[in-house]
Amino acid sequence: MEGNEVSEYLVLLKLNPGKLIDTLGVIRSLPATPVPGVDICYALNIFGSWDVGIWINAENSGQALEFVNKKMRGLNGVTEVYTVPTFPHGAVSKIGNVQETKNSEDQNHPLGA
């Protein structure tokens, strides 16, 4: 994958509670490159509205969508999928000048006012 073109995605999954163990087993056994152009960084358990998160790197959004549609949506036990496009954490430090963001207390006009 080429440096700046790689995008990171967080794929959130809701699982059928009755198939939780089997579905987690399948997710854990996914290959590191489940579709061309997509690499799985890691999977994690989530507590709350979602059950599992999978961080992926994709060369382009089409490949990310292919992974989500072909591998995740059709997975037995997955009831819902939500994909969040993100960007690498280190990108800001490579730019140079970083502006500090203001808290709502620092703003002249607080939100909703």
pLDDT band at 94 (very low <50, low <70, confident <90, very high): very low
- What is the distance between the alpha carbons of residues 10 and 45, in angstroms, rounded to a whole number? 13
Residue 110 inside a domain? The answer is: no
- Identify the pLDDT of residue 91: 45
Query: What is the residue range of 44's domain?
Result: 3-88
- What is the distance between the alpha carbons of residues 39 and 8, in angstroms, rounded to a whole number? 10
Residue 13 inside a domain? The answer is: yes
Q: Supply the DSSP symbol for 99.
A: P
Token readout for 88 is 């690498």
Mean pLDDT value of segment 94-102: 45
- Identify the pLDDT of residue 5: 55
What's the whole-model pTM score? Answer: 0.72
- Identify the pLDDT of residue 110: 44
Residue 40 identity: I
Give the rounded percent of residues in the chain with a pLDDT score beyond 90: 66
Residue 100 inside a domain? The answer is: no
Residue 103 inside a domain? The answer is: no
Mean pLDDT, the chain, rounded, equals 81
Residue 95 identity: I
pLDDT band at 88 (very low <50, low <70, confident <90, very high): low
Residue 94 inside a domain? The answer is: no
Residue 59 inside a domain? The answer is: yes
Residue 6's nearest CA partner among 82, 64, 84, 83 is 64
CATH of the domain at 27: 3.30.70.920
Task: Look at the chain and report how many structural domains it folds into.
Answer: 1
